[in-house]
């Protein structure tokens, strides 16, 4: 995947505005994007939120943008959970999976890490608290790169 | 047994046809995540039932319990 | 319910793999979200990839109709989940069985008397009194041997009633331990060890499992391999097959049986709300298959009166195969489960089983689940309700109704409730009925007016508690 794909994504998703909230990744150009796919029924997803909030607080100023895509079929299913846990995270709703379909993953949650160059650089399949250090190391590594 | 093998192969073939792409996407497995949708959510009930049927009838067992679930992590 | 557990270890191992892929519960509706009781931070910390523990406990009460066998069976299991798919499982079961069990003889229009060994050499007590009907008797000396103070147990059976031994009781305890975890490309590898002991029987089980997920975890292929090593040491020793029933202590005190088998499984998530599973099981047994306490009547060819009781005899090996297909479908607020099983063995027995259950949510925390089961089996080729005197004795013969041709229907209902979101309580009741050949067309003499089917109905109640905790 390269920046052209990212551009294609934006076009595609712009067209899907009737079904999903638009995911406009152009806002994040030059930043590192942590694109996280989750749902309210997925237990490890719950555990990832406090960690993602910590990450946002620690590295937001350095150019980290976390986008949490909610894949619940009923967009309001996660309201209760989000009321307590959202923090400062950007939430995008994708009830029909139109955004998720553009990526190829099999676990819930899955986080796609997009570098400052707009390319997919890493994928985190699932969320295990004992791996938080490794997840963070990937993010720090991408933040250290300069924007093209 | 001839009949038995035929049943097994037919069913397996039916299930496996297009196995490589059969099944929901990861975000469509909300129902599979529910405990009651697992293959054996009440093992002590299953154990008791099988013990009783084993003591009253000539057939036994046959079950296996791997698979299903939401694939989380 | 004198028969032993079968497949218990297979089942314990099965509980492992469910949790590898089990997630906790949140539905896609806000209602279900409350129902599953998220913690204060709105997190549900009981699911795959989360290390939690679970204790299951249950109490089973079993009562056959007509004052026959009754049993009480408490059981408990502890499952501990590790953070990356490991699972430790421990379980224990105890049961206490008592009551009256058919001894295998046919009813007669005359009083019948049976003698059987005492429970222990030199014992002067029997199981009389409260459990009714036996007396200690002095046994006549064996010809050519010095007379000793040999004792036996004798009981009589009234005319036109099924001969049952009321002095039947046994206690059993069983424990098992197992471990499973992902191993490289194998999604799940595990092993279980089990041990079961009762007063006259011991069983050791060893099982292993390998499972692999494909296709975005929608497809699972699994192989379970199991071995069982049993030892039978009946009161009074091992009787000579088809010898006349007597109260002497037999010279051979025990015999063994070995069983090896495997189950191949294919599970497929067919769609968002349909899970299907297909299993093929093969089992091979060698050793002592006979029930050492059971006899078969030798009857007069004209009158049908029992002349003597002969110890039964079963082949020294058995091979079984079965195909089992299970489906779980979620439609709106109900969960339907329908399964079919076809079984066949080399004793000539074939059976078909069909089960249906419907779990219906009642509000946030309660559910009821009616269920039904239909079963049909054919007879073993050496099954006979009795043997006729004057004909050659067959190599194998048993009048055990479990080996006869019959239909069975079970009606059941479960009621359950989620307390505190992490704890579930259930109460299950089933009524089991058996319909066999009560009056075979070729019955002779007085047997034409007797009920020759020795099976029975049973009421089964089980209460249980599941508790998840960190």
pLDDT digits (tens, 9 = 90+) for C229-255: 999 999 889 999 999 999 888 999 999
Q: b or e along C305-335 (b: 16 or more beta carbons within 10 Å of the residue's beta carbon)?
A: bbbebbbbbbbeebebbbbbbbebbbeeeeb
Residue C36 has pLDDT above 60, yes or no: no
For C118, phi then psi, to 5°, come to -65, 165
- CA A65 – CA A42 distance, rounded (Å): 22
What is residue B1's predicted lDDT score, i.e. its pLDDT?
Answer: 56
Kindly state whether A61 is in contact with chain C, defined as any CB-CB distance less than 8 angstroms: no
DSSP C446: G
Residue ranges of domains in chain A: 2-143
Report the mean per-residue pLDDT for chain A. Answer: 85
Q: What is the CA radius of gyration of chain B?
A: 16
Bigger pLDDT: C34 or C85? C85
Are residues A80 and C28, on separate chains, in Cβ contact within 8 Å? no
Cβ(A36)–Cβ(A66) below 8 Å: yes
At residue C16, the pLDDT reads 38
pLDDT on residue B7: 75
pLDDT at C151: 76
Of the pLDDT bands very low, low, confident and very high (cuts 50, 70, 90), residue C391 is very high
- Across chain C, mean pLDDT equals 87
CA dist A62 and B71 (Å) reads: 34
Highest mean pLDDT among A75-89, C36-50, C213-227: C213-227
β C112-116/C134-138 pair status: unpaired
Confidence of residue C137 (pLDDT cuts 50, 70, 90): confident
Q: Residue A140: which pLDDT band, with cuts at 50, 70 and 90?
A: very high
Measured between alpha carbons, how far is A130 from B1 in angstroms, rounded to an integer?
50
Cβ atoms within 10 Å of C113's Cβ, excluding its own: 11
Does the beta-carbon distance from A81 to C33 stay under 8 Å?
A: yes
* Interface probe, candidates A46, A47, A54, A71, chain C, greatest C C-beta count within 10 A: A46
pLDDT for position A10: 53
Does the beta-carbon distance from B73 to A126 stay under 8 Å? yes
In angstroms, the CA C419 to CA C50 distance is 21
Nearest to B71 among C75, C217, C349 (CB): C217
8 A C-beta contact, residue A82 and residue A91:
yes
Residues near C134 by Cβ (< 8 Å), separated by ≥ 6? C126, C127, C128, C153, C154, C155, C166, C167
| Distance of alpha carbon C262 from alpha carbon C282, whole angstroms | 6
Compute, in degrees rounded to 10, the torsion defined by CA atoms C297, C454, C239, C227.
Answer: 150
What count of other Cβ atoms lies within 10 Å of the Cβ of residue C148? 10
Which other chains touch chain A, taking contact as 3+ CB pairs less than 8 Å apart? B, C
**How far, in Å, CA of C334 to CA of C356, rounded?**
13
| C219-232/C255-271 β-pairing | antiparallel
**A3 or C266, which is more confident?**
C266
Site from B26, B29, B38 to mutate, A interface, most A CB atoms within 10 angstroms: B26
Residue C122 pLDDT: 57
**How many Å lie between the alpha carbon of A122 and the closest alpha carbon of chain B?**
17
pLDDT at C299: 97
Interface test with C, best of B30, B64, B68, B73 (most C CBs within 10 A): B64
Cβ-based contacts of C43 with chain A (< 8 Å)? 43, 46-47, 49, 81, 85
Between chain B and chain C, how many beta carbons pairs sit less than 8 Å apart? 292
CATH classification for the domain delimited by A2-143, as one of 3.40.630.10, 3.40.50.620, 3.40.50.970, 3.40.30.10: 3.40.30.10
**ipTM of this predicted complex?**
0.88
On the 0-12 / 13-18 / 19+ scale of CB atoms within 10 A, A14 is: exposed
User: Is the pLDDT score of A53 beyond 70?
Assistant: yes
Nearest to A81 among C23, C38, C84 (CB): C38
Are A41 and C23 in contact (CB < 8 Å)? Answer: yes
Contact in structure between C39 and C446 (CB atoms under 8 Å)? no
Closest alpha carbon within chain B to C5: B51
pLDDT of residue A133: 94
Mean pLDDT of C384-400: 96
Residue B16 pLDDT: 60
Q: Which residues of C7-20 are buried (b: 16+ CB within 10 A; e: fewer)?
A: bbbbbbbbbbbbbb
C117 — pLDDT class (breaks 50, 70, 90):
confident
pLDDT beyond 60 at C28: no
From chain C, pick out residues whose CB is under 8 angstroms from the CB of B69.
Answer: 18, 20-23, 48, 217
- Cβ–Cβ contacts within 10 Å for residue C94, how many? 14
d(CA C78, nearest CA chain A) in Å? 21
Residue with more model confidence, B9 or C145: B9
**Mean pLDDT within B2-30:** 75
Whether B9 and chain C come into contact, CB under 8 Å, resolves to no
Q: In chain B, what are the helix, strand and coil shares in percent, each to the nearest 5?
A: 50, 0, 45
* Closest C-alpha to C235, from C151, C297, C156: C151
Over range C300-319, report the average pLDDT.
96
Query: What is the spatial distance between Cα C206 and Cα C176, in angstroms, rounded to a whole number?
Result: 10
Q: B-chain residues within 8 Å CB-CB of C18?
A: 38-41, 65-66, 68-69
Q: What is the pLDDT of residue A19?
A: 43
pLDDT at position C376 is 98
Instruction: Give contacts of A45 with chain B, Cβ < 8 Å.
Output: 72
Mean pLDDT along residues C134-144: 71
* Of residues B27, B30, B73, nearest to A37 (C-beta): B27
Closest CA to C7 of C281, C331, C221, C236: C281
- Reading the block at residue C90, the tokens are 């421990």
d(CA C172, CA C5): 10
């Amino acid at each position: 995947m390269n920046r052209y794909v990212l551009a294609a994504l934006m076009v595609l998703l712009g067209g899907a505005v009737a079904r999903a909230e638009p995911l406009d990744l152009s806002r994040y150009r030059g930043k590192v994007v942590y694109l996280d796919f989750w749902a309210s029924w997925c237990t490890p997803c719950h555990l990832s939120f406090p960690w993602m909030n910590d990450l946002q607080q620690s590295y937001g100023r350095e150019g980290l943008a976390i986008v949490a895509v909610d894949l619940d079929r009923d967009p309001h299913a996660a309201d209760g959970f989000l009321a307590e846990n959202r923090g400062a995270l950007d939430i995008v709703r994708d009830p029909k999976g139109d955004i998720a379909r553009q990526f190829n993953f099999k676990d819930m949650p899955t986080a796609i890490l997009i570098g400052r160059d707009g390319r997919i650089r890493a994928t985190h399949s699932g969320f295990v608290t004992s791996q938080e250090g490794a997840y963070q190391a990937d993010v720090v590594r991408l933040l250290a790169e300069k924007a093209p | 047994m001839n009949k038995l093998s035929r049943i097994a192969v037919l069913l397996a073939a039916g299930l496996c046809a297009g196995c490589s792409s059969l099944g929901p996407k990861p975000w469509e497995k909300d129902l599979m995540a529910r405990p009651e949708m697992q293959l054996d959510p009440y093992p002590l009930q299953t154990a008791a039932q099988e013990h009783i049927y084993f003591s009253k009838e000539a057939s036994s067992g046959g079950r296996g319990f791997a698979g299903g679930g939401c694939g989380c992590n | 319910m004198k028969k032993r557990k079968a497949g218990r270890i297979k089942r314990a191992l099965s509980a492992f793999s469910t949790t590898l892929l089990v997630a906790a519960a949140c539905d896609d509706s806000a209602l279900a979200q409350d129902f599953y009781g998220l913690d204060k931070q709105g997190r549900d910390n009981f699911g795959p990839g989360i290390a939690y523990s679970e204790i299951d406990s249950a109490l089973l009460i079993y009562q056959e109709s007509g004052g026959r066998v009754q049993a009480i069976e408490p059981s408990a299991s502890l499952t501990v989940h590790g953070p990356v798919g490991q699972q430790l499982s421990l379980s224990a079961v105890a049961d206490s069985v008592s009551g009256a069990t058919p001894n295998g003889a046919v009813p007669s229009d005359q009083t019948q008397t049976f003698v059987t060994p005492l429970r222990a050499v030199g014992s002067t007590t029997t199981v009389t009194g409260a459990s009714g009907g036996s007396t200690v008797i002095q046994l006549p000396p064996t010809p050519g041997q010095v007379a000793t103070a040999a004792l036996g147990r004798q009981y009589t059976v009234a005319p036109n009633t099924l001969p049952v031994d009321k002095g039947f009781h046994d206690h059993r305890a069983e424990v098992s331990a197992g471990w499973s975890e992902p191993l490289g490309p194998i999604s799940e590898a595990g092993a279980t060890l089990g041990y079961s002991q009762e007063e006259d029987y011991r069983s050791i089980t060893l099982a292993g499992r390998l499972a692999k997920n494909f296709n975005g975890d929608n497809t699972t292929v699994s192989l379970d391999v199991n071995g069982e090593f049993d030892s039978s040491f009946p009161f009074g020793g091992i009787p000579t097959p088809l010898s006349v029933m007597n109260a002497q202590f037999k010279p051979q005190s025990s015999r063994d049986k070995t069983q090896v088998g495997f189950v191949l499984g294919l599970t497929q998530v067919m769609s968002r709300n349909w899970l299907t599973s297909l299993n093929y099981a093969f089992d091979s047994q060698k050793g002592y298959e006979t029930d050492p306490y059971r006899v078969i009547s030798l009857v007069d060819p004209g009158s049908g009166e029992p002349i003597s009781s002969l110890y039964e005899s079963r082949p020294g090996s058995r091979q079984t195969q079965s195909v089992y297909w299970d489906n779980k479908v979620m439609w709106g607020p109900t969960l339907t489960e329908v399964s079919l099983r076809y079984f066949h063995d080399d004793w000539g027995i074939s059976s078909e089983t069909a089960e249906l259950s419907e779990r219906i949510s009642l509000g946030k925390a309660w559910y009821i689940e009616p269920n039904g089961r239909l079963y049909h089996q054919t007879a073993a080729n050496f099954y006979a309700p009795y043997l006729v005197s004057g004909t050659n004795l067959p190599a194998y013969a048993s009048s055990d109704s479990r080996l006869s041709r019959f239909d069975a229907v079970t009606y059941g209902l479960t009621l359950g409730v989620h307390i505190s979101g992490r704890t579930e309580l259930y109460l299950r009741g089933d009524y089991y009925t058996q319909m066999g050949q009560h009056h075979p067309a070729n019955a002779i003499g007085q047997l034409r007016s007797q009920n020759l089917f020795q099976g029975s109905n049973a009421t089964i109640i089980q209460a249980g508690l599941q508790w998840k905790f960190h």
